[in-house]
Structure 1
Amino acid sequence: MQDSLHLLRTRRFLPIFTTQFLGAFNDNLFRTSMVLLVIYGIYRDAEQEAAFSAIAGGLFILPFFLLSALSGQLADAMDKAKIVRIVKSAEIAIMLFGAGGLLLHNIPLLLVALTAMGVHSTFFGPIKYAILPQHLNKDEVLGGTGLVEAGTYIAILGGTILGGILVVQRPDGTFHAEFAAVGVLLVALIGRIAGGFVPQALAADDAEIPGYPHRGMDWHIVRASVTLVSATLHVRRLFLAILSISFFWAMGAVLAAQFPPLVKNVFYANQSVATLFLAVFSVGVAIGSVAINRMLKGQVSARFAPSSALMMGVFVLLLYVLAKDWSASPELVGTREFLRHPLGWAVVLDLLGIAIAGGMFVVPLYAFLTTTVPKSETARTVAANNIVNSGAMVVATLMLTGLVLVGVSVAETLFLVALGSIVAAWLGWKLHLACD
């Protein structure tokens, strides 16, 4: 049985794992600190808060649409370790703006830093997956991908929780984020140090697969994006893999968007329970990411994708049933009171099941993207996937907004996600038949 944890003791994996972990951690530390400071410490108007959330979300995801094609081309054309160091150095500069915004309560500075972090994530995203086939053996790629995915979710959890802690309310009722400003700068510095230890990963030779077409740099971002996506999706196995991953993230976007209103308006619980939900979900994805590697024994395969998707759908359906029958409460309850509810632990365990199944579904698909194409094309493939994923999440969020506006309840949207898992399972089955 392939034990992927041994990779954490090797220089060919530990530096890139640590670098991506700190990047995800800092991203969520900054975003959480920013949102809490703006919502609770600056704005006092619901419409302004809603507008800020919409603008912030759009600014962060925009670079993925515009620059993913460029980032994928650069990552395949240059030493990936060099790009890591450039990107992590840029993160320090970005966090200087972010820290300034947190200290001065300056919203334009905060939004500039957030947009720049979106650019940072766009250029680092293809690297963290595409570098693995160059540094790891073929039977280690799945395990390494699982560890990266697990580490990312743990980092998201840690950054979110710390961001909430470091934005403090003083006795006079004002909110301050000095500690958060210091934190984002410190994590960026440590991340740059870790990035300095990533071993060289030179551009791979296009000739490694005879007849595979060479692609040069195209600096026209719109044309490059269209060309990249169409060229990648033209390959049936990649089309099915990217479509499966995108459908997973579309469902994930709906679930993530519904967590706050689900906790507050369905389970009648406060922010501490929302944090509990996030913690359970993050831990569950991490467990599923590691578990699937053991089940597949290091082999990159989609054979468990259909059953994982269906299992996720069953757990989401159960959450719908639990939410539909939840009794109303006159006031919002905390974590202790929530867990004392007769169905409280059932909800927690159900969330854990959703997350574990989700991790088991998506991790082999990411490993598949990076192992079934030439090493000279891995970053482009991941970049194409990022473009399609981003589009799927936007479409899913817009559909969710439309459904809520026409009167569909939070609980009913869970039922729709459960139905969506059937489509995800079908896509996973088609990929399994096409490749395994």
Structure 2
Amino acid sequence: MIQNVTHLLKTRRFVPLFVTQFLGAFNDNLFRTAMVLLVIYGIYRSAEQEALFSAIAGLLFIAPFFLLSALSGQLADAYDKARIARAVKSAEIVIMLFGAAGLYFLNIPAMLVALTAMGIHSTFFGPIKYAILPQHLERDEVLGGTGLVEAGTYIAILGGTILGGLLVVQDPDGRYHAEYAALGVLLVAIAGRIAGQFIPAAPPSTEDSGTLNDPDLPRPGLDWHIVRASINLVKATMHVPRLFVAIMAISFFWAIGAVLAAQFPPLVKNVFGGDQSVATLFLAIFSIGVAVGSVIINRLLKGEVSARFAPMSALLMGACVLALYGLSISWTPYPELVGTRIFLEEPTGWPVVLSLFGVATFGGMFVVPLYAFLTTTVPKSETARTVAANNIVNAGAMVLSAVLLAGLLKLGVSVAQTLLLVAAGTIVSAWLGRKLHLACLEAGCA
């Protein structure tokens, strides 16, 4: 039961993975926030360029999930997940050397190379993160463990976001610098590798397969043809009705979430007239909201893996997005960029923050149970590949949303108007959540 899973924070079967994941998410967001704020506030001077850069950065980070998730899932199911985690965290140190150089020298290509490489890093760590949980935890601990990981991840995002914003500083001449952010991403990468050393062994499961492959056939070897492997993995997973609906619901959620997240810095600067401290506040509030939503849904479900609250959560998220849109179109920005104090002194400043908090909270309530569902309704020998198949479809949906967003911006759609696209998407998410709940009731899995 969720009220009892805090004991996991004292056990080696959970804590090293939790800390490793925490530091990885922290570093991702420390680097990305520093990069985006440095580029948008310190290099570019065009609203269109800024919005387009934000969309392209999101696309580069997500593309590896689409291309390499099948391989990462196969590796995680075929080899010891703890050993792979340590190899991935060692690679993060090398990646952050490039990232630190980009931040230090204000080199956009170097920063984008590091961002893409961090996408590859996350692609290979993602299946491990979720697949180890049912291997090391009891069944009634998995939902709580997933909730703790998600809450911890978004607290890490919060910390990384805040620190990334604070470490991008403006000198008296008006130029922006990120030398301390460059040092920070290296130190966090090293700490993550140390934490990964303590993850207990997680060898391939010997449990018979019954969902993705015929148990009477020999298990195939690794398929290094990434396109064929991706197609085969998605086909093998998506033919199971409940998995199909769950993955589609998660994918659609992240597609609209990608549009929303990509627009935060341009929305703050060009709609609300806020400086980088306000952009950091937006990202921080979003992270806090998802963490709160993760805790609330675990309390409501009391350890049960169920999608029964998903439709309501998605619709409430959409209502909060509409409120944010209404506030954005009625906002009159100052002639120059303002800080957090002045922004919050506006009569509608706090309503904007509360609307954003609502979006994130109900989003967390929607998506957390769906990840727990993916890892508890398939054999343990197939969890990594199930998560990998989910990541492929998620990434494809986010890539399409990024391309759509870039196209809309090119056609002259405003940053504020893209919020309407997000609000409409939550209706589809609610419908998919309802379908999943009904499918689970019929199959006896919820």
Q: 2:287 corresponds to which letter in structure 1?
A: S
Residue 151 of structure 1: aligned partner: 152
Q: Distance in 2 between matches of 1:263 and 1:167?
A: 16
Residues 314 and 142 (structure 1 numbering): CA distance in 2 closer, same or farther, change over 3 Å? same
Alignment-derived partner of residue 27 in structure 2? 26
Conservation of the 8 A alpha-carbon contact between 2:50 and 2:266 = no
Letter in 1 for 2:306: S
Query: Residue 258 of structure 1 aligns with which residue?
Result: 263
Q: Quick one: distance in 1 between partners of 2:124 and 2:433?
A: 28
Shift of 1:223: 0.5
Deviations 1:104-152 (A, max 9, x none): 4555543443332221111001111111000111111111111111122
Question: Take 2:83 and 2:384, find their aligned partners in 1: how far apart are those partners?
Answer: 14
The secondary structure found in structure 1 opposite 2:89 is helix
Asked if the contact 2:208–2:381 (Cα under 8 Å) also holds between the matched residues in 1, the reply is no
TM-score (norm 2): 0.90
2:368 aligned residue (363, 367, 371): 363
Distance in 2, matches of 1:46 and 1:328, equals 14
Correspondence 1:11-410 to 2 at 5 A? 11-38=12-39, 56-171=57-172, 174-207=175-208, 209=210, 212=215, 214-327=219-332, 329-410=334-415
SS at match of 1:12: coil
Q: RMSD over aligned Cα, in angstroms?
A: 2.5
1:373 is displaced (CA, Å) by 0.8
User: Structure 1 residues 415 and 228, CA, compared in 2 at 3 Å: closer, same or farther?
Assistant: same
Give 1:249 deviation, angstroms: 0.6
Give deviations 1:237-256, integer Å, cap 9, x for gaps: 11100100011111111211
Residues 393-415 of structure 1: CA deviation (Å, up to 9, x unaligned): 12122223333444444343323
Question: For residues 51-84 of structure 1, what are the alpha-carbon distances to aligned partners after superposition, in whole Å with 9 as ceiling and x for unaligned?
Answer: 7656644433332122111000000111111111
Q: 2:60 touches 2:119 (CA, 8 Å); kept in 1?
A: yes
2:208 counterpart SS class: helix
CA displacement at 1:323 relative to structure 2: 2.5
Partner of 2:431: 426
Q: Which shifted more, 209-218 or 10-19?
A: 209-218
Contact 2:22 2:156 in 1 (8 A): yes
Give the Cα separation in 1 of the matches to 2:420 and 2:260: 11
C-alpha distance in structure 2 between counterparts of 1:301 and 1:353, whole Å: 22
Distance 1:392 1:49 in 2: 22
After superposition, the Cα gap between the structure-2 partners of 1:10 and 1:28, relative to the gap in structure 1 and judged at 3 Å, is same
Tell me, in whole angstroms, the C-alpha distance in 2 between the residues paired with 1:54 and 1:310.
25
Whole-angstrom distance in 2 between the partners of 1:299 and 1:120: 31
Q: 1:413 to 1:38 in 2, by over 3 A?
A: closer
- Whole-angstrom distance in 1 between the partners of 2:429 and 2:55: 28
Deviation per residue, 1:323-370 (Å, 9 max, x gap) = 333345444433222222222222211211111110000000001111
Give secondary structure in 2 for the equivalent of 1:82: helix
In structure 1, how many angstroms separate the alpha carbons of the residues matched to 2:393 and 2:200?
30
- Alpha-carbon deviations, 1:1-53, whole Å to 9, x = none? 52232221111111101001101111222233334445566678889877765
Closer, same or farther: CA 234–291 of 1 in aligned 2, 3 Å: same
Shift of 1:418: 1.8
Is the alpha carbon distance of 1:112 and 1:133 closer, same or farther for their aligned partners in structure 2, counting shifts above 3 Å?
same
Deviations 1:268-305 (A, max 9, x none): 33332222211111101000011111111111111111
Tell me the distance in 2 between the aligned counterparts of 1:167 and 1:238.
42
Q: Give the match for residue 443 of structure 2.
A: none
Q: Which segment drifts farther, 59-68 or 131-140?
A: 59-68
Q: Relative to structure 1, is the Cα distance of residues 413 and 97 closer, same or farther in structure 2, using a 3 angstrom cutoff?
A: closer
Counterpart Cα distance in 1 of 2:181 and 2:415: 33
Contact kept in structure 1, 2:162 and 2:281, CA below 8 Å: no
Letter paired with 1:203: P
Give the length in aligned residue pairs: 436
Distance 1:323 1:15, change over 3 A: same
Tell me which amino acid in the other structure corresponds to 2:162.
I
Tell me the SS of whatever aligns to 1:268: coil
Provide the C-alpha distance between the structure 1 equivalents of 2:110 and 2:264, rounded to a whole number of angstroms. Answer: 28
State the alpha-carbon separation in 2 of the partners of residues 111 and 80 from structure 1. 28
Structure 1 residue runs of 5 or longer lacking an equivalent are none
Q: Deviations over 1:204-247 (max 9, x none)?
A: 11426595463431111110011111111111111100100011
TM-score (norm 1): 0.92
Question: Any stretches of 5+ residues in structure 2 without a counterpart?
Answer: 441-445
Separation (CA, whole Å) in 2 of partners of 1:349 and 1:36: 23
Percent identity of paired positions between Structure 1 and Structure 2: 75
